Structure 1
Amino acid sequence: MLAAGPALAGDPVVVSSKIDTEGAVLGQMILQALDRAGIPVENRLQLGGTSIVRQAIQAGEIDLYPEYTGNAAFFHGQADRDIWKDAARAYQQAARLDREAHNLIWLAPAKANNTWAMSVRGDLARAHNLNTLEDLARYINDGGDFTFAASAEFVESASALPAFQEAYGFRLRADQLLVLSGGNTAATLRAAALNDNGVNGAMTYGTDGGLNALDLKVMEDTLCVQPVYQPAPVVRADVLAAYPEIRDVLDPIFESLDLETLQRLNGQVAVNGVPADRVARDYLESLTRN
C-alpha cells in the first residue's frame, strides 16, 4: 500500500474498524457521529483483523478506527512490561509511542476494558455476593461448587488462568475445568449459561455481547493481572489537523462507554440480531436526549 498525502479540509475522513461485532458497533458510532457533525466521511468499516486495519492506517489508506490500548504493547514490542496493566499508564504509553513512531493520535478511551476475564453465572454471583476475583477465590477456597469452561490456551498460557490463580491464591483442579477446543468465547459462555457438566464459570472477554443476555457476571480483576484493553479512536495527525472538531465530537461518546454499556450494545447485535448501524444510531440519540 502506498502512503497517502496530507489530508485537506473537504476530503472525506475514511472511517474503518475491525471485523468483529464490537468493531462494527464502535465504527458505526464514529461514522455516524462525524456525519452528524457535518464532517464528510467514507465508510470502510469491518475491514479485517487487527493487522490489516493497523497496516491500512499506517499506510494512509484509512484515517480513523477504534483500537485497544493493550494492543499497542504488541505493536511496539513492549508486551512484557507491567505498564500495560494500568489503564491510565497504558493509554499514555500507547498515545506517546504511536505519535512518535507513526504520527497517530489516540483520542479519549472508553472506560470499558475488553480483556480476558473470568465470569460466573449470575445466580451464583448473587447467591454468594461474588463481584471480584478476590470474592471468587474465597468462594473456591472455602470449598464452593465451581466448574470453569475455558480454551486450552486460557488454561495453559502463563498469562491467563495460571496468572489469575497465582495472583489471587486459588487453584482449580483438573475435574473443575471443562477445556474446549478453540478460543471462541461463545462456546464457553454457552456452557456456563446451560450449566453443561455443572459448569458455572466461563472464560470471556470483558465486553462480550452475550454476558448480559446469558446472565453471566464478569469478576473484576482488582489486582490488574491482565493488560488493559480500552477501546479508543486512533486518527492520523494530519486528518485531525484538518478536522480538529473530531476530538470534540468523539471524546464524549467514548467517555460514556463503560463495561456494562458495551456489553449491552454488543449483545443487541450478537444475541438479538439488531444491525450495528441501528444500535449505534439509537445509542447516539440516547446521548443527545440525556
Structure 2
Amino acid sequence: MRRRLAAVLLALIVCTVHAQEPLRVGSKADNEGALLGQVVLQVLRHHGVPVVDRTQLGPTSIVRRALLNGDLDVYPEYTGNAAFFFHRESDPAFRDAAKAYALAASLDHSANHLVWLAPAPADNHWAIGVRGDVATRESLRTLRDFARWVNRGGNVLLAGSAEFVESDAALPAFQSAYGFNLRGDQLLVLAGGDTSATIKAAAEGISGVNASMVYSTDGAIAITGLVVLDDPAHVELAYQPAAVFREEALQRYPAVRAPLEAAFRPLTVDMLRRLNARTQIDGEDAAKVAADYLRAEGLVR
C-alpha cells in the first residue's frame, strides 16, 4: 500500500514539474513574424505559462527545422507553406483558405505530431498593387482589370524584385492565369525582396512606376493608398497565419488553445496592415505593438 501511494505521489510530482516546463516560442525574423510571435508569447504569459522568448529566430527553413527538432514548442506559420513542406504546391486545396488549413493540419499532425491552431482570417500572399489615382482612372479592382489595362496598351510600369518577376509562383503565374504579358521596359526590377521599396516607388511615382509587387498585409499599404488588386482566379496559395505547436507541448498546456485562437481571430488583412505599419513604417517595437493590440481587443489586461 505504501509503495503504491509513493508511486502515485511520484507520478504527480513528475507531472507537475513537467507541466511547468516553459514553452519555447519562436517566430520568423521579418516584421510580421516578430509581431505574431509577440502575440503568442504575450498571450501565454498572460495565462500563466512560463515561456522562453526565441522570436525572430530566422527564416522559415530555420524556424520550421527548430520546431521539428524539438528546439521550439510553438511558432506562427502560414497555411500555404504546408504545400511546400509536403510538396503539394499544385494541390487546389491550398488555394482555398478553409481547405488549406484543414489539409495543413492533417498532413502535419500525421507526419510530425504538430498541431495547427485555427488561423487568422488574414491571407498574406503576393499580389499587385496600383497607385490609387491610376486604379480609379482605369477602373482597376482585380487582376482581370489589370490584364485588360495591359492588353489595351496601358502605360504600365511595375516595380518588383527579381524573385517576383521570375518565380513561377508570382508574376509569371499571374500573367498565365489572366492572359497578359509585361514587356521588359514595363518592369523595374529592384535588388532584394523589400516590398516597402517597391510600394514607395509606386506610391510616389518614382521613375514613372505606377504598380508594385506587394504582400497583401504589408504595412506600407495602409498609409500609401495603394490599391491591392483581387485575385479572383486564386492563383496564389492561401497564406493564413496560425500558431503551430508540438503536440506534446500543447498537451502540457491545453488551456492555451482557446485564448490563442481568440488572439488570432481579429487579425484581418486590414488589422495586420495597421499593425505592420507601426513596426515597418513607424519603427515601433513589435512587443509594444502586440501588447497594444491585445489590450485593445480585451485579450489581456
Tell me the TM-score normalized by structure 1: 0.92
Q: Where do residues 131-146 of structure 1 align in structure 2 (5 Å cutoff)?
A: 131-146=141-156
Percent identity, please.
51
Please tell me whether residue 166 in structure 1 is matched to residue 176 in structure 2: yes
CA deviation map 1:135-168 (0-9, x unaligned): 3223334444321111223223333212212212
Aligned to 2:237: 227
1:194 is displaced (CA, Å) by 2.0
User: In structure 2, what is the Cα distance between the partners aligned to 1:178 and 1:257?
Assistant: 32
Aligned to 1:262: 272
Work out which of the residue numbers 114, 123, 133 in structure 1 matches 2:133: 123
Q: After TM superposition, what 4+ stretches of structure 1 lie above 4 angstroms from structure 2?
A: none
Residue range with higher mean Cα deviation, 169-178 or 85-94 = 169-178
Q: Where do residues 18-57 of structure 1 align in structure 2 (5 Å cutoff)?
A: 18-57=28-67
Do the aligned partners of 1:8 and 1:239 also contact (CA within 8 Å) in 2? no
Letter of the 2:50 partner, please give it.
P
Q: Where do residues 85-96 of structure 1 align in structure 2 (5 Å cutoff)?
A: 85-96=95-106
User: In structure 2, what is the Cα distance between the partners aligned to 1:210 and 1:204?
Assistant: 9
Aligned to 2:210: 200
Unmatched 5+ residue regions in structure 1? 1-5
User: In structure 1, what is the Cα distance between the partners aligned to 2:248 and 2:191?
Assistant: 44
Work out which of the residue numbers 217, 225, 240 in structure 1 matches 2:250: 240
CA deviation map 1:58-105 (0-9, x unaligned): 121111100011111121222233322221111111101110111100
1:134 is displaced (CA, Å) by 2.2
User: In structure 1, what is the Cα distance between the partners aligned to 2:257 and 2:91?
Assistant: 29
Unmatched 5+ residue regions in structure 2? 1-14
User: In structure 2, what is the Cα distance between the partners aligned to 1:251 and 1:227?
Assistant: 22
Q: Where do residues 90-109 of structure 1 align in structure 2 (5 Å cutoff)?
A: 90-109=100-119
Max radius of gyration: which structure? 2
Residue range with higher mean Cα deviation, 155-164 or 258-267 = 155-164
Letter of the 1:271 partner, please give it.
I
User: In structure 2, what is the Cα distance between the partners aligned to 1:72 and 1:158?
Assistant: 17
Aligned to 1:251: 261
User: In structure 2, what is the Cα distance between the partners aligned to 1:261 and 1:125?
Assistant: 23
